Amino acid sequence: MSKVALITGAAQGIGRAIATKLAEDGFDIAIADLPFQEEVAAETIAAVEAAGHRAIFIGLNVADKANFDAAVDEAAEKLGGFDVLVNNAGIAQVKPVLEVTQEDLEKIYPINVYSVFYGIQAAARKFDELGVKGKIVNAASIAAIQGFPILGTYSTTKFAVRGLTQVAAQELAPKGHTVNAYAPGIVGTGMWELIDEELSKINGKPKGQNFKEQISGIALGRTSEPRDVAGVVSFLASENSDYVTGQVILVDGGMLYN
Ligand SMILES: NC(=O)c1ccc[n+]([C@@H]2O[C@H](COP(=O)([O-])OP(=O)(O)OC[C@H]3O[C@@H](n4cnc5c(N)ncnc54)[C@H](O)[C@@H]3O)[C@@H](O)[C@H]2O)c1
């Protein structure tokens, strides 16, 4: 029987690469994303199936606790187990601190932070119900380690994810569950398209220029592909990381050093 992983935000981007990699590692996959993303998720489903594993799409809003509980129940029921949760879904906002509105904060915190509480709660409940020593892997960021200008809302949500990863790791350790996080650098996905576009509005540089300019700050001399991140999540979801918990692992090609 294959192990089961639920990955939020897996219709596209880093989540899709994680789903593909975990399928190659032997997992059946629940792709949990906003309902309107079901068509886009067909490509992730095809990649998982090409790796010889089962994939289902579950429509959910990670900012809704009841939704999250139901998604975990559905994944466990339809795929016959529950071993790994990847709290990958997240959004960015690009604005100077002095311009951030109450609406901005009320939008981003539920998606980037509350969702990680809800995911940890739902997964731990299911692991215990099934008698599984589970693994929870959260999406942090380089912006969880260092604050970046005009990413104040985003950076603070990712600092919160890092803190929560450390707390939950200690609280869930007695039950044998691990909680870790991956901290990507500059990954070419829809998220960076948005950041690039917003930066262009601020500094007038042509489309794509702000993204390209990031390379000068990366020791390995290139921006990241989603699969670079998936390799580290694969480790954190596997038995190779059984003695690792509460850690945030930078996957940034050499941008920050800790
Ligand atoms: N792209 C980067 O450079 C980068 C760097 C550091 C960290 N990250 C983090 O990696 C994760 C994935 O980012 P990505 O670059 O693949 O972004 P992306 O925008 O390409 O994909 C994000 C996915 O999350 C889904 N999503 C958004 N809100 C949701 C909600 N409320 N409920 C359910 N699903 C929702 C979207 O539909 C989408 O499929 C995010 O947490 C992001 O903060 C990305």
Q: Return the bridge partners of 5, or none.
A: 29, 84
- In 10 A of CB 35, how many CB atoms? 10
Instruction: Give percent of the chain above pLDDT 90.
Output: 99
Q: Which of 154, 182, 243, 257 is catalytic?
A: 154
What distance in angstroms lies between residue 55's CA and the mean position of ligand 1's atoms?
19
**168/180 Cα distance (integer angstroms):** 9
DSSP state letter for 36: G
Q: Return the bridge partners of 10, or none.
A: none
pLDDT band at 239 (very low <50, low <70, confident <90, very high): very high
Q: Summarize pLDDT for 187-231 with one digit per residue, the tens.
A: 999 999 999 999 999 999 999 999 999 999 999 999 999 999 999
Helix (H, G, I), strand (E, B) or coil at 212: helix
Q: Residues with Cβ within 6 A of ligand 1?
A: 8-9, 11-15, 33-34, 37, 60-63, 88-91, 111, 139, 141, 184, 186-187, 189-192
pLDDT band at 235 (very low <50, low <70, confident <90, very high): very high
Q: Summarize pLDDT for 33-57 with one digit per residue, the tens.
A: 999 999 999 999 999 999 999 999 9
pLDDT at 114 over 90: yes
